[in-house]
């Protein structure tokens, strides 16, 4: 519900959670919050919770209580109240105030020159041994891997506790320009009013990488024309979050009550904290990037599984026809597509298609083509009719920058008749043992999705008697490059197929893929690779 932060003179602090039970404070070890200070009484004060409000009461102590610089024997506590128990300083804070929707107002006021000190980034930090030890102790706390906002909330706790900020905020630069977000804003004086930051102070820290201290004198506080006074600020500090030459944002804090001015060591200490926070921010960014990368890989893995399910689960392996296939995406998902369907009358439909581009966009268009194939296949009698319907669907649903090359055929093993349709794709090869590899000839047409209202033609071919294998593939085979940027090419492909003409279709494909890998060496695969082989005895 609430907490009491005990601020030691060393700059270190300890936090005690407050609930609904009364809490006693004093020099007596039996107190709920023991205070090791000779100026406090054995049982000095008590905090009790009643009707949703925390009350502070003096228990008859010798030196009494001071709340926000006012002597008192009892007080209703509000978030941000500063309590003096003897010489022990404490800060009362309600947890809810950490999450208030506070806003930052950038004021055009410029702080008085006499009250302001600007320190360039090139000046070394000068810290006492005590402050250095504190930074060392904070290193793990502020640099370990965790969520960014959790880190910044913790960093704000550290700044408010150790530098006694009453209002503070951390700004983080957006990816472009000098615009900033304020993910953490703390107003320990309560919910009323906004946190006002001088544009000059913010700019000096954010743009010029300077450390800024402002201390208004008591005399200046009397003059309402003084800019910082108009914003009710007595002292303030602002430091940049620097990583090499990159400025990631700033830490800003101020006080509106008397009793505290900031010196050179304070600003250097805050700058030391800022360096730790910067490291923590970079670690948080790396962690977020890694999470996004893993998430993308998981999503791409799932997409690949879904896509694999679109390919035929089983290929024909009959006495009169055998089919082999391979699809190896250049990225997580493929823009290539093949399909094989056996008709009841023994004929075999096959399709090889290559969508422009790679990756997710190409794979989505490929999935649309697969759906179109399944819808239109039962109602068309020729490959030309199929290509015509697919082209109409693709032209309606995609722009001209996306198109598909396709080769579609229906082969009858009994008669060796092949109905062939080509839409901007490579002609298939015929491979026979002991003979030269040849390419079939058919009427060339535009790729699918380029021109509307096109009537695609079919070519009927009768394959010569004797064992042969029809092989078709996508650009990933012939455009595969080695380290010298030489392409594998059509001639090399046909020559290699001649050497494996006696193999079954799947082994023929596997051997071809292995030879392409050998040719490319260490050069990464730059395109999807898909091969389809149909063997007739």
For the chain, where do the domains classified as CATH 3.30.450.40 start and end?
100-287
For the chain, where do the domains classified as CATH 2.60.200.20 start and end?
2-96
Express each pLDDT in 13-60 by its tens digit: 788 888 889 999 999 999 999 998 888 999 999 999 987 889 999 999
Q: In this structure, are residues 254 and 116 in contact, taking their beta carbons and an 8 Å threshold?
A: no
Considering the chain, what percentage of its residues have pLDDT values greater than 70? 86
pTM of the model: 0.53
Say which residue, 130 or 526, is predicted with more confidence: 130
For the chain, where do the domains classified as CATH 3.60.40.10 start and end?
312-536
CA–CA–CA angle 475, 418, 509 (5° rounding): 40
Q: β-strand 104-107 against 195-198: which pairing, if any?
A: parallel
Model confidence at 303, pLDDT cuts 50, 70, 90, reads low
Please return the burial class of 156, using the count of CB atoms within 10 Å of its CB with bins 0-12, 13-18 and 19+: buried
Express each pLDDT in 422-468 by its tens digit: 999 999 999 999 999 999 988 778 898 888 888 999 999 999 999 99
Burial letters 507-519, b for 16+ CB under 10 A, else e: ebbbebbebbeeb
The domain made up of 312-536 has a fold known as: Phosphatase 2c; domain 1 (3.60.40)
Identify which of 411, 424, 413, 530 has the alpha carbon closest to the alpha carbon of residue 472: 530
**Is 100-287 a domain of CATH 3.30.930.10?**
no
Model pLDDT, residue 307? 61
Q: In this structure, are residues 413 and 320 in contact, taking their beta carbons and an 8 Å threshold?
A: yes
Model pLDDT, residue 469? 96
Model confidence at 507, pLDDT cuts 50, 70, 90, reads very high
Model confidence at 188, pLDDT cuts 50, 70, 90, reads low
Q: Which helix (H) or strand (E) holds 148?
A: helix 148-163
Express each pLDDT in 394-432 by its tens digit: 887 776 667 889 999 999 999 999 999 999 999 999 999
Model pLDDT, residue 104? 75
Model pLDDT, residue 304? 64
Model pLDDT, residue 233? 76
Q: β-strand 235-243 against 13-18: which pairing, if any?
A: unpaired
Write out the two tokens for 45.
Answer: 């004060």
Q: Please list the residues that pair with 25 across neighbouring strands.
A: 33, 45
414 — phi, psi (to 5°)? -70, -40
Identify which of 450, 124, 54 has the alpha carbon closest to the alpha carbon of residue 264: 124
Sequence-distant (6+) residues with CB within 8 A of 299 are none
Architecture per CATH, domain 2-96, reads as Sandwich (2.60)
């Amino acid at each position: 519900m609430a907490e009491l932060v005990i601020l030691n003179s060393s700059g270190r602090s300890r936090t005690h959670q407050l609930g609904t039970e009364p809490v006693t404070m004093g020099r007596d070890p039996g107190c709920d919050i023991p205070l090791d200070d000779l100026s406090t009484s054995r049982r000095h004060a008590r905090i009790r919770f009643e009707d949703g409000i925390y009350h502070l009461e003096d228990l008859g102590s010798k030196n009494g209580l001071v709340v926000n610089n006012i002597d008192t024997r009892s007080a209703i506590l509000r978030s941000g109240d500063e309590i003096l128990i003897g010489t022990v300083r404490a800060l009362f804070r309600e947890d809810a105030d950490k999450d208030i929707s506070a806003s930052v107002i950038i004021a055009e006021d410029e702080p008085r020159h006499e009250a302001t000190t600007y320190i360039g980034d090139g000046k070394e930090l000068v810290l006492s041994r005590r402050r250095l030890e504190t930074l060392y102790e904070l290193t793990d706390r502020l640099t370990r891997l965790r969520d960014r906002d959790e880190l910044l909330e913790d960093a704000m706790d550290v700044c408010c506790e150790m530098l006694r900020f009453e209002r503070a905020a951390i700004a983080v630069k957006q990816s472009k320009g000098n615009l900033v977000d304020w993910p953490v804003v703390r107003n320990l004086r309560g919910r009323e009013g906004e946190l006002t930051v001088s544009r000059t102070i913010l700019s000096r820290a954010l743009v010029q990488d300077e450390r800024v201290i402002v201390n208004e004198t008591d005399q200046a506080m009397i003059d309402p024309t003084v800019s910082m006074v108009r914003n009710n600020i007595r002292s303030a500090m602002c430091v940049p979050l620097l990583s090499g030459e990159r400025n990631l944002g700033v830490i800003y804090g101020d006080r509106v009550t008397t009793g505290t001015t900031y010196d050179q060591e304070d600003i250097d200490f805050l700058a030391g904290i800022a360096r730790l926070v910067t490291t923590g921010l970079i670690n948080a960014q790396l962690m977020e990037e890694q999470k996004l990368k893993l998430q993308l890989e998981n999503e791409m893995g799932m997409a690949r599984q879904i896509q694999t399910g679109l390919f035929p689960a089983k290929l024909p392996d009959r006495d009169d026809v055998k089919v082999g296939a391979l699809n190896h995406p250049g990225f997580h998902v493929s823009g290539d597509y093949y399909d094989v369907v056996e008709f009841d009358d023994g004929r075999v439909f096959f399709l090889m298609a290559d969508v422009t581009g790679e990756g997710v966009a190409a794979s989505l268009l490929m999935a649309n083509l697969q759906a179109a194939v399944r819808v239109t296949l039962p109602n068309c009698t020729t490959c030309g009719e199929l290509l015509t319907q697919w082209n109409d669907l693709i032209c309606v649903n995609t722009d001209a920058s996306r198109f598909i090359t396709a080769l579609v055929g229906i082969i009858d093993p009994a008669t060796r008749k092949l109905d062939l349709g080509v839409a901007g794709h490579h002609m298939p090869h015929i491979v026979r043992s002991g003979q030269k590899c040849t390419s079939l000839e058919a009427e060339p047409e535009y790729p699918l999705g380029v021109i509307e209202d096109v009537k695609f033609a079919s070519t009927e071919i009768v394959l010569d008697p004797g064992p042969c294998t029809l092989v078709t593939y996508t650009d990933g085979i012939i455009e595969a490059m080695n380290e010298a940027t030489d392409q594998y090419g059509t001639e090399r492909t046909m020559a290699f197929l001649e050497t494996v003409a006696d193999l079954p279709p799947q082994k023929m494909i596997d051997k071809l893929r292995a030879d392409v890998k050998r040719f490319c060496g260490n050069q990464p695969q730059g395109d999807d690779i898909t091969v389809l082989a149909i063997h007739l005895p």
